[in-house]
Amino acid sequence: MITFSQIGRRTAMFGPILAREWLVAPRRLRFYVQRVVFIWALFSIVCTTWALLAGMQSVQDVGDMARFGVLVVQIVVPIELAVAMFLTAVAAVSNVAQEKDRRTLVLLLLTRLSNAQVVLGKLTASLLSPISLIFCSVPLLLMVTLMGGLSPQQVGLATAVMVVSSLWCGALANLIAFWRDKTFQSLAIAVLAVAGWLVLCEVLAAGAIPAVDSRWAELLSPFRSLRSVCQPISDYDWLQIPGGVAAGYCLLGMTAAGLFSLTAIARLRAWNPSDQVRPRQPDPDDDLTVDRAQLGTSVVTWKARAPRPMWHNPILWRETRTWAYGRKLVLIRLAYLAGFAIALVAISWSVTSGLALQRSRLAEELLPVAAKILVPFFVVSLVMLNALAVNSITNERDGQALDLLLTTNITPAQFMTGKILGVLYVGKEMVLLPGALACYLWWQAGISTSNLSLTLTGGFILNIFAVMLGIHCGMIYARSRTAIGTSLGTLFFLFLGIATCMMIMMSFRGSFARQLPPFLAIIVGGGTGLFVAMGSRNPSPAIALAAFALPFLTFFAITSFILRGQELTVFLVLAAAYGFATLAMLVPALSEFDFAMGRSRSVDDEE
């Protein structure tokens, strides 16, 4: 029997970074908790879907079982793919960013490790957890195939697609993390790059680029490739290779991962250390040149530029009047504006073609086409605001400025106000442009005035919630990687849970009373996860109430949305739920003003 230590010694040939991660990972409690929770969540989705099916219709023959198996796989597998891509990208960025924030990457480059060992070691270390989750879910998928509708070969192809998607996402995030210096820059560019690629694939699938065959979207998009694999009868006629679309996608994905990794290996020492770390001689200040003729010398002194007047709130002044997140933030804004332009063109096309309010057949005539364009753009904006907020705290801690900041006369109200308003100001494009899309849709008579006001107000409440969640996680978690992963993971899995519930509920229409019992396990599990993420380090009755009420109220809002004509009810419920959750995190921050500084370390906190 081969143990972890024996495998760890064998992985040493790939570099000590992977070997160390392989040996240390099994010592962490979260290594096992993640897999148990992940499989439990997938199994809960399967049971919930079965309870809804059995409660609404009688399962009489093998055909009904086969249709159920296909439906479950088409719901579960995209969730696995989204989780794997998200975890890999965040892990790859945070693994490299923490080395840069602590100035230990320079020391790592001084060792005998080659560029390939550093780059590939960080990449493979970030792939351990997502890949293990994918392979742990294979027995569950094989169990579902016993019902019929799909074959084990299709499960194998779907697993290969998920593994390759994690690989190229991790390689891309690894490349960006070695290139950029600031953690937020790396996270934002990685999110925009992956989201932009998925949007480009959807544009190809829609036939918006006449010069390119729309079928190429199945080879380029992981979700479309996975959907083609999970069809009961797959069509591989147009791609005459063994394995069809899945094999073609895997080949292209591995090629992309190889190119990303080779680029990072070639440019590693050119990018690191960056110009911000390399010592530079300051420019001489001519006004301070002192000519001492009597000494026969000319003394030239240098000083920093003249101090600028500071506001009453120095935190807000620093966030808004300096380049606290790096000057390359302009590139992120330009990329975000490009995404906004694409979304604007798509909405304009949907309006001119009369599809703005046409409901989708795939969603059983429930979701309008305009919502499919607006919602992803809103979600990307919220994720970027959350990443900016959590980095506003972790940057202070990693730069060893938080200890000095806490010794000043800055009050908790000044600190929290400065951070919240500062994040909203720096990310003003993420706050204003989604609302601008909604206003354009209203101007084109796509939505009513009342719905526009509810959308703008609800979007602002969600923005405040995302910002406060990031600041809250940055304060209660001492390790930057843990804080970033928890904050982004909480927001991501919250939206992923909402999307999953909507997919299941749109597949099985029914009353609220009939749908509530099957969803209770998901609601309770989601509340427990929120409480662990938000209140495990500083538990309070308000945070516990917000954590367990948020999934239930969100489920109620989704049900009200499906019933149609209850937009005000949906808004009031969501405003109460997310507004109360924001206050539950804000009040302790103002009253206790307690930061986790990481004075002691446990095995589970080992990084």
Helix (H) or strand (E) holding 124: helix 115-136
Q: What is the pLDDT of residue 294?
A: 47
Q: Which two tokens stand for residue 207?
A: 């036939």
User: How many helices (DSSP H) and strands (DSSP E) are in the chain?
Assistant: 23, 2
User: How many of the other CB atoms lie within 10 Å of CB of 337?
Assistant: 12
Q: Rounded distance, CA 453 to CA 417, Å? A: 26
Tell me the H-state helices in 477-601: 480-507, 512-535, 541-563, 567-591
Residue 366 is predicted with a pLDDT of 57
DSSP state of 409: S
Distances in Å between the alpha carbon of 552 and those of 19, 164, 524? Answer: 43, 35, 8
- Could you tell me if residue 477 is left (phi over 0), alpha (psi between -120 and 50 degrees) or otherwise beta? beta
Please report the pLDDT score of residue 287 as a whole number.
Answer: 44
**What sign has the CA pseudo-torsion 379, 346, 430, 331?**
positive
pLDDT of residue 532: 84
Mean per-residue pLDDT pooled into runs of 10, the chain (607 residues): 51 69 78 86 84 67 78 88 91 87 83 88 89 91 84 89 94 92 87 88 79 81 88 63 81 94 92 62 45 47 62 85 81 89 82 58 54 84 92 83 80 89 92 91 84 91 93 86 87 85 70 68 83 80 89 84 79 92 88 66 48
Could you give the angle at the alpha carbon of 136 between the alpha carbons of 133 and 139, nearest 5°?
145
Q: With contact defined as beta carbons under 8 Å apart, do 409 and 440 qualify? A: no
User: How far apart are alpha carbons 276 and 280 in whole angstroms?
Assistant: 9
Spatial separation of the C-alpha atoms in residues 534 and 528, rounded to whole Å = 10
Q: Which of 161, 338, 351 is nearest to 244 (CA)?
A: 161
Tell me, what's the pLDDT at 555?
A: 83
449: exposed, middle or buried (C-beta count within 10 Å: 0-12, 13-18, 19+)?
exposed
- Helices marked H in 137-279 — which ranges? 138-145, 152-179, 183-205, 216-220, 222-229, 244-271
Task: Give the pLDDT score at 500.
Answer: 80
Signed CA dihedral, 574, 437, 485, 251: sign only: positive
Q: What pLDDT does 276 receive? A: 53
389, 470 Cβ separation under 8 angstroms: yes
* Residue 521 token pair: 């396990």
